[in-house]
Amino acid sequence: MSHYPALRLRRTRVAPWSRALHAETVLTPADLIWPLFVTAGDGEEPIASLPGVSRWPVAGIVDRAREAVALGIPAVALFPNTPEHLRSHSGAEATNADNLMCTAIRAIKDAVPDLGVLTDVALDPYTAHGHDGLVDDRGYVLNDATAEVLIEQALVQARAGADIVAPSDMMDGRVGLIRSALEVAGHHNVQIMAYAAKYASAFYGPFRDAVGSRGRLKGDKKTYQMDPANAEEALREVAADLDEGADSVMVKPGLAYLDIVRRVKERFEVPVFAYSVSGEYAMIEAAAAAGAGDRDALVLETLMAFKRAGCAGVLTYHAPLAARLLG
């Protein structure tokens, strides 16, 4: 009697229709959040370390917002490149209701009200020293004093029309403070997506070029962002942010931290997002430019990995490319 394999796992892989039928994970443009950089300048400004990504003046940002809607991308995330003369030790421009960020939010909400707008709550694009908060005379980032400013920053963004405020500063206790302030001000439906597990990472370099903070950053962010060695601590960060009222949580960077995504998802069963950060984008672009891989395939495979790990969605600079490929 001839012997047959008890299990032929290749049987369901035999043709595209069957592979489609058996796919366990789906990736669609609705899984993507597109980060955009706003400039006060009057034209497109390409970012050398992020090939294919530019800063746009407000009018250009509105064009990108329309493009997002046309591609089926549900939300954009905004980051400003604050003009030099408006950066200061205290980062006061962050709470100016007419700053570049708020102007861009209003312009998008006027033009395409149905597009979700996510805003970054942190001081680094506004401070002369490039840190996410207020620093004392020894350069230490002060927690509670910073949180007070972040509350005001979140409020001006909510007033301008932000749908999701996303504190990326890693100060302790800020989610609860921002939630209470939003409630008191009547912004009951403004969501908080907490950058809950944000690591002190070498993958943020091109972003710091994009918002103009790289050259100015004094020291590093290791007293507030997490140590890449830690995973249990990420679970504590997530628990704290959820307890304080976060609607969703983010893990950042993405690719090197998919174990964290999975552990958070399994432990808390809440919407988890990952930020596939600037250095990850640059890595794929460099690989493609060097002929080491096919850009489109690399992008779709990595985005699928985020979904498989448990993400509800992914912030990625490849959002328009991926949406086009999936559309």
- Provide, rounded to whole angstroms, the least separation between the CB of residue 281 and ligand PBG: 7
In terms of DSSP bridges, do strands 45-46 and 32-39 run parallel, antiparallel, or are they unpaired?
Answer: unpaired
C-alpha span between 113 and 124 (Å, rounded): 28
In single-letter form, the type of residue at position 89 comes to H
Specify the length of the chain in residues: 327
Residue of 33, 47, 101, 122 that binds ligand PBG (CB under 6 A): 122
Q: Is 237 annotated as a binding residue?
A: yes
Which is closer to ligand PBG, CB of 132 or CB of 244?
A: 132
244 binds ligand PBG (CB under 6 A): no
Piece of 21-29, 117-125, 133-141, 171-179 that binds ligand PBG (CB under 6 A): 117-125
Residue 206 Cβ vs ligand PBG, minimum distance, rounded to whole Å: 7
In sequence order, what DSSP letters do the residues of 15-79 get, joined into one string?
A: SHHHHHHH-S----GGGEEEEEEEESSSS-EE-TTSTT-EEE-HHHHHHHHHHHHHHT--EEEEE
User: Is 222 among the residues known to form the active site?
Assistant: no
Which 27-66 positions form the footprint of ligand PBG (CB under 6 A)?
Answer: none
Of the residues 109, 221, 222, 252, only one is catalytic, namely: 252
Q: How many whole angstroms separate alpha carbon 130 and alpha carbon 119?
A: 18
Q: Does 204 bind ligand PBG (CB under 6 A)?
A: yes
Q: Tell whether residue 278 is a contact of ligand PBG (CB under 6 A).
A: yes
Instruction: Establish whether the linkage from the previous residue to 271 is cis, with ω within 30° of 0.
Output: no
Nearest approach, Cβ of 227 to ligand PBG (angstroms)? 14
- Is the Cβ of residue 112 or residue 276 nearer to ligand PBG in the bound state? 276
- With respect to ligand PBG, which residue has the nearer C-beta, 103 or 316? 316
Q: Is 252 a catalytic residue?
A: yes
The yes or no reply on residue 209 touching ligand PBG (CB under 6 A) is no
Nearer to ligand PBG, 87 or 208 (CB): 208
State the Cα–Cα distance between residues 57 and 106, nearest whole angstrom: 13
Q: Is 237 a binder of ligand PBG (CB under 6 A)?
A: no
- Phi, psi of 296, rounded to the nearest 5 degrees: -60, -45
Residue 242 CB, shortest distance to ligand PBG, in Å, is 20
- Stretch of 56-64, 96-104, 119-127, 297-305 contacting ligand PBG, by CB under 6 A: 119-127
Question: SS in 3 state form for 84-108?
Answer: HHHCECCCHHHHCCCCHHHHHHHHH
Task: Give the Cβ contact number of residue 25 at 10 Å.
Answer: 11
Whole-angstrom distance between the N-terminal and C-terminal Cα of the chain? 50
Whichever of 112 and 250 has its CB closer to ligand PBG, that residue is 250
**Closest CB to ligand PBG among 159 and 214?**
214
What is the enclosing helix (H) or strand (E) of 110? Answer: helix 100-111
Q: How many residues touch ligand PBG (CB under 6 A)?
A: 11
Bridge partners (DSSP) of residue 35 are 77
One of 258, 277, 282, 319 touching ligand PBG (CB under 6 A): 277
Q: Which one is catalytic: 198, 221, 265, 307?
A: 198
Distance separating alpha carbons of residues 293 and 316, to the nearest angstrom:
19
The residue from 37, 53, 87, 124 that contacts ligand PBG (CB under 6 A) is 124
In this structure, what token pair is assigned to residue 275? 């930020």
Q: Which residue is nearest to ligand PBG (CB)?
A: 207
Q: Which amino acid is at 265?
A: K
Residues of this chain that bind ligand PBG (CB under 6 A): 120, 122, 124, 132, 168, 204, 207-208, 221, 277-278
- Which positions make up the binding site for Mg(2+)? 237
* Residues annotated catalytic, as ranges: 198, 252
